[in-house]
Every structure is written in structure tokens, then in C-alpha cells.
Amino acid sequence: MESSCTLPLHVCHVKKTEMVINRLHIFLHAIAIVAQFYYRITTLSQIIKTRETPLLPYLIVIVSEFVLAFIWIMHQASQWRPVKRTVYPERLPDDGKLPAIDVFICTAHPGKEPSLGVMNTVISAMSLDYPPDKLAVYLSDDGGSYVTLHAVREAWKFARLWIPFCRKYGLRIRCPESYFSADEESADEKFTGCSDFAADRKIIETKYAEFQEALEKNSVNANASYSRNHPSRIEMITDESDPKEMPLLVYVAREKRPDHHHHFKAGALNVLLRVSALISNGPYFLVLDCDMYCYDPSSARQAMCFYLDPKISPEIGWVQFPHKFHNINNENDIYDSRNNSFWRGLQGMDGLRGPMLCGSNFFMRREAICGTDTIQKDIHLNQLKKFFGSSNEFIRSIYKPQLLEDRQNLAGRLQNELQLLSSCTYDDDTEWGKEVGYKYVTVSEDTITSLILHCRGWRSLYLDPARPCFLGATPTNLNDMLVQHTRWALGVLQIALSRFSPFVYGALRMSILQSMLYATVGCLYVVPFYCFAIIPQICLLYGIPLYPKVSDPFFILFAFIFMSSHVKNLQAVFLYGDSFRTALNDLRVGMMRSGTCHFYAFWEAILERIGLYKTHFVLTNKVADKEQTRRYEQGIYDFQASSLLLVPLCSLYILNLATFIIGIPMIFHKADELLPQAVFPFLGIIVNYHLLEGMFFRKDSGRIAPSVTLQSLAVSAVIFCFGSLLLLY
Ligand SMILES: O=c1ccn([C@@H]2O[C@H](COP(=O)(O)OP(=O)(O)O[C@H]3O[C@H](CO)[C@@H](O)[C@H](O)[C@H]3O)[C@@H](O)[C@H]2O)c(=O)[nH]1
Ligand SMILES: [Mn+2]
């Protein structure tokens, strides 16, 4: 205890050099943007007077530049004060003084999310380096499937052997699948030559193979076992084992009925919050997706370095860890599956009031999410019920930090209350999904929930240790990646259009910089993307200049803005330890996302708003296709994706290619005026060369289907005709 008083549990380093570079860049780039708008407005007034150039395309370009500038400004909040945190878990007080932690794992479909992966996540969470009697793992099964239930029972049996093995040898990898995979052999280097270990490992390996086989047999009818219409089922997976040896494991399938909206993952997490409150009621909980396992077992202790620091603890709502992935091609991540441009920004958010929730991999304070801090102490029971629903036991749990120990009889004794708490009508006429728990407004439950908690004054922290604490699976094929990003874009737009819009709700309740973080609505890129992929190209063919002449001093300004944003991005990529190739992939994939994900998300959000569309949560596919995975590993794009996703991209590519080729004589003829504009199709063609290859040169099954190419040809002709009409105004 002595040492923990004198030595800090954690340190926060402000990344000074990065901060100075960022702020200097903000200053210069901002001046350039102001000058750009000065130029645009003066030339616009000239055009209005003389009508030398068509007005409409010019206006569209100005609007697009404005949107770009807006996104850029919002984005700068995350550049303002980047910090990095270090923790010292070895300085924590002894185990007896650690608080209890619940772990929430969500799964939704045993066919799409195979049991073996889900159970590896469960086992890795049970094996966390934390006192077992203070750890309770809850698996929410939204498919209400007996396949998953059987698998959890098998997982418990295997974990009874696995956990002691991990503890005995202090394993640093506690997810069995990851441990036994060939490239992790180095994990037990320190035991080479130890015969005890070799023998134990052999036994465990055989047991794991048996476990795998049992799950495989059990999963034959996985798809058929999925249900959308079932009563709730809560089962404590337990036996005679000592609670000091094994953490608690609870299976929770909430009630689902076709006529009741279940609110996807947010609904599942809220049920877990209630159910766990009656059973273990840990003051902190960790949320994991079923495809995201614990890699370094010390994550809970690392998070406790913040929660056990009395100076900062009272205001911390959650500690977020990054999402890192085990199925990545690090040399050439062609679908930007790591999504590093997002994760880079989190250190900047951490320098303000903290990062947003990222769905998985965070340790949260129960009090923050339940909103108990906002409730007055002397409030009447009936009013509490309006908030938290009708369960007396649940309301009692709010004021009681931890419940009893008697695991064997607990579930039986509480069964009625647990059924009530996990019923599909429990939320009705309460504040669940609104003031209490995860919010239901959007498919991005994480972003909206953190927005509201930040507005209530909670702060959060970001911890990105060198050895990843969690590893997950991320889409490594085009279709799944685009589908996932469409959901995210839709989520952000739903929030922007709701009463929780960061532009109003957030801006009134947070500091300017913090609300800017939430207002960085990246999917607005769709506007400049479509504009710059169509307008300059069409104008080029007609010989209409949209940019200052090369000989005009203002040309340097535009060139500076272009270079400044790309060079700054490169600098950020390099500083994060990534390569030029990563930056190129980011650019490509960014274009693909704007062209499809953001485009469709926009329509979905607007149609939903006017009541013509009902959003749903499209699960990310977790069963990798062998051929697609092989191509990803070789760095070859696989275009076996829905034509709906491909046609917009291919049409724009064809349009760019055609206008550029046909426009070459024009470019030579009016080089001074048109050269700046020719940069757009030129870069588009070069950066997206893989589309050209896919459409016309490749013969393998991963190419773009000829039918898609044909449709795209037709669509590009239509775009060209409509685009030409714009020139009339
Ligand atoms: O009705 C549902 C839908 C989803 N899930 C679970 O939610 C998790 C995330 O779903 P997944 O299909 O894996 O989506 P991803 O796109 O991979 O998830 C990312 O995006 C989500 C928000 O869109 C975040 O919640 C996640 O943490 C983040 O990893 C999984 O464990 C699912 O089983 C449910 O429990 N019930
Ligand atoms: Mn996932």
C-alpha cells in the first residue's frame, strides 16, 4: 500500500512535438482555406455578372469545397492535443482490494457467428488475470439457440482445465485458439525443456481438440436453431467448483417476439445490465463482441489503474481500448480493415475529455450507464420505477454495491425476477434506451450512448498498450467491409438527424472542441466525392475551366491546399508506424466508402426519417470465404460483391477514364486553363487502377462481373447526359 501512495498508477504524456506540428498545420491550412473562399466568392460574383462560365457547376464545386472545409475543421479537434497513457498495474493494491468486474459478450446468430469463435471469446474472458471470485462472464445469445447453450456448457468444462493451466504457467495468451495456432509457439519460450509443461500442454491440446470436435458436432443445425420468437432463458453454468477457482459464467437469452422491436445489440446489453445487477452486480463491466477475444490477460488490471486512482476516478465513465485484429495482412491491408485513420484520432480525443465508446473493448462504470448519478437520493419508489421499470430487486441492486455469494441457489431463487428483467416488454414505458442504459436511437448504440454520457459530464480514457489487450476479426473482403461501413455511416447520420444531433444537443452541452469530435460526420464526404468525380470531368470535355489558370497566383493556393492535406495525412500515417502503401490503401478505400457506403447510408437515413424505410442491423459476416481470404492475403482485390455496391464505383471510374481520354486534345489545347482540372480524372484513374483491372483485364473469379461492367457503362452514360444538362445554367 505504501508504494501505491507514492508511485502513480498511471501517467499521461502529452505528445508535444506532434501537438506543435498539428497546430502549426492547422494555422497554415486554415489561412489557405480562407483565401480559397475569398477567391471563390470574388470569381463567383464575376461569373454572375458576365455569365462567361455556367453558374451551376461552379456553385456545386463551391458547395463541395465548403463541405470539405467543414469536415476538415471538425476533424481538427482530434488533432489539438494528442496524449498517450501508460499504466503500472504492478502497483495496484492486493487482490482483496480490487472491485468486481462483469464481462458482457454478445452473440446474435449461431450460423453467422460460429460457436467455436464465440466460445474462445468466452474462455479468454474467463481466463483474465483477475481474481476469479470477482469476475462474472455473461453471454447474451440473441438467437436463443440451443446450439449456443450447449456450446457454453462445453466451454465451461474446457475452461475448468484451461484456466488452471493458464495460471500455473502464467500464460500470456489465454484465448485457446490463438494460443494453439502455429505462429504463437513463441508464447511458451520460457518453458522449453520443462517436461512438466510439455506434458500438461499435450493434455490440454488434446482436450481442446475434443472440445472443438464437440462444438462441431453440436453446430450441425446451427442455422435451424436460430430463433426470433422465444421466451427468455437464463442459466448459470456451474458445478461444484470453488468460486475462488472459477469465475461465474451465465448464459442469457432474452425474450424475443416478432412484434417487439429488440433494439439489436443495445437491447441485448441492457438486458445484461439488468440481469447481472441481480447476480454479481460488479461496479464495472467489460463489453466484448463475440468475435473479439482477450489477448493480453492484464486488461482488467490496466483499466483498474485509472478506476483505483481516487484523484481522477470519480469522473471516469469508461476506459476504451483499441480494436486490433488477428486476421490482417499487415503489409498490404487492401480494404483498410484495420481502420487506423479512425484509431489515430482517439489519442487526440483522449487529450480533450476522452474517446467515444467503440462498441467493444471498454471497461465501463455501471453507475454511469445506469444514470444513477442523476437521480436524487430521496426519490420515491414509484418514480424510480418509471425510470428503471417494475423490478424491486433491480432497484435494490442500484443501491447495493454487491450481492450475495451463494451461486448454486442464486439463479433458482431469482428465476422469476430474472425472467421479468429479460422479458421483451420490460423496457416499455420506462427510461431504458432513453435516459438509462444503452440508447436505442440508432444502429450505432456506442456513439450515441457516449455522446449523451459526455454531455452529462462523464469523461473517458483511451489506453493503447504496446501489447494488444483484445484481438478481433475484421472484414477482409470488399462486400463485408462496405456493408459494415454503410451501417456505421447510417448510425452517424441517424444521430445527426435525431434530437441528439451533435450540432445542437452536443454543442449546447459540451465544450466546442469536444462537440466538434462528434460533429466530424465523415459520411458528408459523399457530397464532394460525387462532385469531384463528375463535375470537373464533364466541364473538362466542354473546355470549361473551374480552377485558376496555372499562370494565376491563386493556382499556387489551390496546389498548396491539395498538397498540405495530403502531406499532413502522410505524416500522420508515418508517425503511427504505417507505410506509404497504407496511405494509398486508405485513400482508395476512402473513395470506395464515399462512393457506396456513404451514398447508400444517406438515402437510408433520409428514407427512414420520412418513414419509408426501417433500419436493421446487418451482422458482419464471421465465416471467411477461403478464396476471398487467400486473395486478401495476396493483396488482390476480390470483387465478388453485390452489384449494388459496385455499380456506383465502376460507373464513376468509366466516366473519369472516358472524359480524360477524350479530353486529352482539349487539355493540350487549353493547358493553362484546364491542367488543374485534369488532375481530378487523372488521379481518379491512377488511384483506382484496381477497378480498371477488375473490369477489363482480369479473368479470374475475383474480377468484376461483365454484367456489372455493362450496367456501369450505361449508368456512366446517364450521368454524363445529366451532368451535361447542368452546364446549361
Ligand atoms: O441484434 C444484434 C446485433 C448484433 N449483436 C452483436 O453485436 C456485436 C457486433 O456485431 P458485428 O456484426 O460483429 O458488427 P461489427 O461491425 O463487427 O461491430 C462493430 O460495430 C458495432 C456498431 O455498429 C459495434 O457495436 C461493435 O463493437 C463494432 O466492433 C456482435 O457480437 C453481435 O453478435 C447482437 O448481440 N444483437
Ligand atoms: Mn464484429
Cα–Cα distance for residue pair 125/104, rounded to 1 Å: 9
- Considering only the C-alpha atoms of the chain, give the largest distance between any 2 of them, rounded to a whole number of Å: 90
Q: Measuring from atom 33 of ligand 1, which residue has the nearest CA?
A: 107
**384-431 tens-digit pLDDT:** 899 999 999 999 888 776 555 566 667 677 889 999 999 999 999 999
Tell whether the torsion through CA atoms of 557, 561, 566 and 569 is positive or negative.
Answer: positive
Which position among 333, 446, 578, 586 bears the catalytic label? 446
pLDDT-based confidence at residue 52 (cuts at 50, 70, 90): confident
pLDDT, position 407: 62
> Cα(437) to centroid of ligand 1, in Å?
17
Residue 389 backbone class (left: φ over 0; alpha: ψ -120 to 50; beta: rest): left
- Compute the C-alpha angle 175/177/183, nearest 5°: 105
Residues 6+ apart with CB under 8 A from 602: 489, 493, 523, 526
Q: Measuring from atom 15 of ligand 1, which residue has the nearest CA?
A: 620
Q: Are 317 and 459 in contact (CB under 8 A)?
A: yes
Q: Which of 620, 621, 622 to mutate to test the pocket of ligand 1 (most atoms within 8 A of CB)?
A: 620
Cα–Cα distance for residue pair 151/161, rounded to 1 Å: 16
* Ligand 1 atom at shortest distance from the alpha carbon of 474: 17
Cα–Cα distance for residue pair 655/659, rounded to 1 Å: 6
Q: Are 51 and 108 in contact (CB under 8 A)?
A: no
**213-247 tens-digit pLDDT:** 999 999 999 999 999 999 999 999 988 777 778 99
Which set of grid coordinates corresponds to residue 674?
Answer: 484546364
Q: Which of 140, 265, 320, 439 to mutate to test the pocket of ligand 1 (most atoms within 8 A of CB)?
A: 265
* Ligand 1 atom at shortest distance from the alpha carbon of 268: 35
The CB of 290 under 6 Å from ligand 1? The reply is: yes
566-571 long-range contacts (CB < 8 A, ≥24 apart) are 568/25, 568/29, 571/21
pLDDT, position 628: 94
pLDDT, position 181: 85
* Ligand 1 atom at shortest distance from the alpha carbon of 105: 31
* Ligand 1 atom at shortest distance from the alpha carbon of 262: 1
What is the rounded end-to-end Cα distance, in angstroms, of the chain?
77
Residue that is written with C-alpha cell 451465465 in the block: 250
Indicate whether 95 pLDDT > 60: yes
* Ligand 1 atom at shortest distance from the alpha carbon of 358: 27
pLDDT, position 379: 81
552 has catalytic annotation: no
Cα–Cα distance for residue pair 240/341, rounded to 1 Å: 49
The CB of 360 under 6 Å from ligand 1? The reply is: yes
Cα–Cα distance for residue pair 261/255, rounded to 1 Å: 11
Instruction: Give the start-to-end residue ranges of the domains of the chain.
Output: 14-75+527-726, 100-282
> Any idea which ligand is nearest the CA of 121?
1
Q: Are 131 and 280 in contact (CB under 8 A)?
A: no
Which set of grid coordinates corresponds to residue 436?
Answer: 438509462
Query: Which class for 277: exposed (0-12), middle (13-18), buried (19 or more C-beta within 10 A)?
Result: buried
Cα–Cα distance for residue pair 432/437, rounded to 1 Å: 6
Least confident of 289-293, 406-410, 455-459: 406-410
Q: Measuring from atom 26 of ligand 1, which residue has the nearest CA?
A: 359
**Residue ranges for the binding site for Mn(2+)?**
265, 289
> Any idea which ligand is nearest the CA of 450?
1
Q: Measuring from atom 32 of ligand 1, which residue has the nearest CA?
A: 107
CA-based Rg of the chain, rounded to a whole angstrom? 28
**6-17 tens-digit pLDDT:** 799 999 999 999
Q: Measuring from atom 4 of ligand 1, which residue has the nearest CA?
A: 265
3 state DSSP class of 157: helix
Backbone angles phi, psi at 364, to 5 degrees: -115, 155
> Cα(250) to centroid of ligand 1, in Å?
20
Cα–Cα distance for residue pair 342/580, rounded to 1 Å: 17
Please tell me the number of Cα atoms within 13 Å of 583 on its side-chain side.
16
Across the range 113-126, mean pLDDT stands at 97
pLDDT, position 198: 87
The CB of 487 under 6 Å from ligand 1? The reply is: yes
The CB of 293 under 6 Å from ligand 1? The reply is: no
Cα–Cα distance for residue pair 487/493, rounded to 1 Å: 10
pLDDT, position 195: 79
Backbone angles phi, psi at 430, to 5 degrees: -125, -175
**Helix 264-279 and helix 392-399: axis angle, to 10°?**
70
3 state DSSP class of 12: strand
The CB of 617 under 6 Å from ligand 1? The reply is: yes
- Adjacent-strand bridge partners of 272: none
> Cα(360) to centroid of ligand 1, in Å?
8
- CB count within 10 Å of CB 215 equals 21
> Cα(190) to centroid of ligand 1, in Å?
37
Residues in the chain: 729
Q: What is the dihedral of CA 336, 338, 344, 345, to 10 degrees?
A: 80
**Helix 407-421 and helix 264-279: axis angle, to 10°?**
140
Indicate whether 574 pLDDT > 90: yes
Tell how far CA 514 is from the center of its chain.
19
Q: Closest Cα to residue 491, out of 346, 605, 609?
A: 605
Which position among 102, 129, 133, 142 bears the catalytic label? 142
β-bridge pairing 248-253 and 233-237? antiparallel
pLDDT, position 1: 41
3 state DSSP class of 263: coil
Q: Closest Cα to residue 448, out of 490, 394, 389, 398?
A: 490
Residues 6+ apart with CB under 8 A from 561: 29, 32, 33, 36
Least confident of 1-15, 472-486, 637-651: 1-15
Q: What percent of the chain has pLDDT over 70?
A: 96
Backbone angles phi, psi at 245, to 5 degrees: -100, -40
DSSP 8-class letter at 256: B
> Any idea which ligand is nearest the CA of 448?
1
Tell whether the torsion through CA atoms of 133, 136, 137 and 141 is positive or negative.
Answer: positive
141 has catalytic annotation: no
Q: Measuring from atom 22 of ligand 1, which residue has the nearest CA?
A: 444
Least confident of 50-59, 543-552, 631-640, 681-690: 50-59
The CB of 353 under 6 Å from ligand 1? The reply is: no
pLDDT, position 189: 62
The CB of 485 under 6 Å from ligand 1? The reply is: no
The CB of 65 under 6 Å from ligand 1? The reply is: no
Indicate whether 629 pLDDT > 80: yes
**171-180 tens-digit pLDDT:** 889 999 999 9
The CB of 480 under 6 Å from ligand 1? The reply is: no
Q: Is ipTM over 0.85?
A: yes
Please tell me the number of Cα atoms within 13 Å of 225 on its side-chain side.
24
Least confident of 114-118, 230-234, 369-373, 505-509: 369-373
* Ligand 1 atom at shortest distance from the alpha carbon of 109: 33
Cα–Cα distance for residue pair 709/146, rounded to 1 Å: 45
* Ligand 1 atom at shortest distance from the alpha carbon of 491: 23
Across the range 305-309, mean pLDDT stands at 97
Q: Are 288 and 104 in contact (CB under 8 A)?
A: yes
> Any idea which ligand is nearest the CA of 619?
1
Q: Measuring from atom 8 of ligand 1, which residue has the nearest CA?
A: 289
Cα–Cα distance for residue pair 578/570, rounded to 1 Å: 9
**Residue ranges for the binding site?**
112-113, 142, 265, 289
The runs of H, that is alpha helices, within 187-308 are 195-218, 222-225, 264-279, 299-307
The CB of 650 under 6 Å from ligand 1? The reply is: no
Across the range 602-622, mean pLDDT stands at 88
The CB of 620 under 6 Å from ligand 1? The reply is: yes
Which set of grid coordinates corresponds to residue 392?
Answer: 424491486
Indicate whether 3 pLDDT > 50: no
pLDDT-based confidence at residue 537 (cuts at 50, 70, 90): very high
Q: Measuring from atom 30 of ligand 1, which residue has the nearest CA?
A: 289
Which set of grid coordinates corresponds to residue 617?
Answer: 442491423
**Mean pLDDT over the full length of the chain:** 93
> Cα(450) to centroid of ligand 2, in Å?
19
| Distances, alpha carbon 363 to alpha carbons 243, 303, 565, in Å | 23, 7, 35
> Any idea which ligand is nearest the CA of 141?
1
556-560 long-range contacts (CB < 8 A, ≥24 apart) are 557/32, 557/35, 557/36, 557/39, 558/36, 558/676, 559/676, 560/32
pLDDT, position 267: 97
Cα–Cα distance for residue pair 60/62, rounded to 1 Å: 5
The CB of 619 under 6 Å from ligand 1? The reply is: yes
The CB of 473 under 6 Å from ligand 1? The reply is: no
pLDDT-based confidence at residue 97 (cuts at 50, 70, 90): very high
